[in-house]
Structure 1
C-alpha cells in the first residue's frame, strides 16, 4: 500500500479531476468513502444537488475565513495523497478504504489529537486506490503540525499492511506517479490546457507506441505529436533511457519541465518499450 503526497493551492481543480472521467476514461463511479464530516460534505458522485464547487467551498471555508483576516489565502493549503493497494491485494470495500483514510489523516496530523481538525475528503474512483484531498487550515485559522507527513503516511500504510495481511512494500521500492499533482492541475488551468502535462504526455506515449514499428519510429511519432524528447545515451552511444516534455511547460527558473518516462508510466520505460516493439505483430497498427 503506497501513499503519494503532494501540495498545491487549488482545491476545486483537484476535486474536478478526482470526480472527472480520468486521463483515459478510467475513473469509475467517483464517490466519497470518508470525510471530516460526511453529513457536511456534499458528494457530487451520489447526490444530484451536490457539485464539485459546493464541496470545494465547504473544504475551503476555514481558509476563506483566514484570508479575510490576513488579506490572502494561506499558501500551499491543499494537501493531496493517493493511497494505492498492490494489484495482487484483495479488493477492499468502501468501509475498509474509509478506515485507511481516517488512519492516514490521523497519522499525518490533519486531525490533531486534541481539538477539531482540518477538513478533508476521501474519493474513490477505482478499485485499488483512493485519493485524500484536504485543506490544511484548522478552524482556529492555524496550520496543523504535519512535519514529515509523507513518511508518517507510509509508516501508517505499513502498519495497515501488517494488520490486514496485505503485500508488504519494501523500503527501497518505488512506484510511478500516475496522477497529476495539485500544482500540475492548477498550471494546466492557468495555461488553458484541457489536461495537465503529465496526463497529456502519458496519452502521447501510448498513441506513439501503437503507431511505431521500432524505437526510432516511436521517438519520431512522439516528436510528430509535438512532444519534446530527450534520449539518455550510455558510453557506447546506445539509448539507455528517455524523458519527455510538453512545449510551453516551464518551471520557476524558465526551464522546460521534463518527466522521466518511468515516472510517467512504469510500463513505458525504454526496456519495456523495446520489449513491446520486439513482440508486436509487424502487419498490425504499424506506421509505414
Structure 2
C-alpha cells in the first residue's frame, strides 16, 4: 500500500476529476467512503441533489472565510493523496478503505486528535485505491502542522500492511516491486497506454530475463522488446548498473524518463540478474 501526496490550489477541478468518468472511462462508481464528517459532506456519486460544486464549497469553507479576512485564498491549500494497494492484495471493502483514510488523515495532521481539524473526503472510483482530497485550513484560519506528511503517510500505510497482512510496499530498495504514482497513471491515460511505464518496464524485464543466456543477451532482449536501455559501466568497462526507459515517455525537457532497474524491481538489480543468469547456466549445464 503506497501513498502519493501532491498539493495544489483548486479543490473543485480535483473533485470533478475524481467523480468524473476518467480520461478513458476507467472510473467506476465514484463515491465517498469517508470524510471529516460524512453527514456534512454531500456525495455527488450517491446522493441525489449533491454536486461537485456543493462539495467543493463545503471543503473550502474555512479557506473562504480566511480569504475574506486577508483578501486572498491561502496558497497551496489543496492536499491530495492517492493510496494504492498492491494488485495481488484482497479487495478491500468501503469500510476498510474508510479506516485507511481516517488513519492517514490523523497520521499526516489533517485530522486532529483534539478539536476540529481540516475538512477532507476520501473518494473511491476503482478497486485497489482511494483518493483523499482536503483543504488544509483549520476552523481558526490557521494552517495545520503537516511537516513530512508524505513520510508519515507512508509509515501509517506500512503499519496497516503489517496489521492486515497486505503485501509490504515501500520505497527504493525496501520494496520488491515499486508501484506507479498518480502522475504516472494519469500520463499513461493521456498517452493511451494500457499500463503506466513503470509497470510496462517491469513486465519487459521479467520476460527478457527468461529469454537471455547471459547479460549481453538480456540487454539485447530488452532492446528487441522496445525498451531503451542505459548501462552504467565502471573504469574497466564492466557493467555496474542499468536503467530503463519506455519509448515516448519523456519529461518536461523532452528527455526519456529513465528508471533505475533496482528501484523498479529490487529482484532485477544488476547483481541479482547476474546471479539468476549464473544459476540458470549452471542448471542447464547440469
Pair in the same fold by TM > 0.5: yes
Q: Work out the CA distance in 2 between the residues paired with 1:281 and 1:27.
A: 46
Distance 1:217 1:51 in 2: 56
In structure 2, C-alpha distance between the alignment counterparts of 1:130 and 1:21, rounded to whole Å: 15
Pairwise CA RMSD: 6.6
Partner SS for 1:3: strand
Superposed displacement of residue 30, structure 1: 0.1
Secondary structure of 1:208's match? helix
Q: TM-score, normalised by structure 1?
A: 0.65
Paired residues of 2:30 and 2:45 also in contact (CA < 8 A)? yes
Classify the secondary structure of the residue corresponding to 1:232.
Answer: strand
Richer in helix (by share): 2
1:151-191 residue CA offsets vs partner (Å, 9 max, x unmatched)? 00000001101111111124425999999999999999999
Q: State the Cα distance separating 1:43 from its structure 2 match.
A: 0.4
Mapped partners of 2:238, 2:32: distance in 1: 48
Q: CA deviation at 1:225?
A: 21
Structure number with the bigger relative contact order (C-alpha 8 A, sep ≥ 6) is 1
Equivalences for 1:219-238 in 2 at 5 Å?
none
Structure whose alpha-carbon radius of gyration is higher: 2
Cα distance between partner residues in 1 of 2:148 and 2:170: 19
CA distance in 2, matches of 1:6, 1:246: 24
Partner deviation per Cα, 1:229-258 (whole Å, 9 max, x = no partner): 999999999999999999999999999999
Deviation at 1:109, TM superposition (A): 0.4
Which sits farther off after the overlay, 74-83 or 110-119?
Answer: 110-119
Displaced runs of 4+ in structure 1, greater than 3 A? Answer: 173-285
For 1:235 and 1:16, how far apart are their aligned partners in 2?
53
Cα deviation 1:15-36 (Å, max 9, x = unaligned): 0110111122111000000000
Question: In 1, distance between residues paired with 2:13 and 2:210?
Answer: 31
Aligned length in residues: 286
Q: 2: CA distance between counterparts of 1:92 and 1:189?
A: 24
Of the structure 1 ranges 196-205 and 176-185, higher mean CA displacement relative to structure 2 is found in 196-205
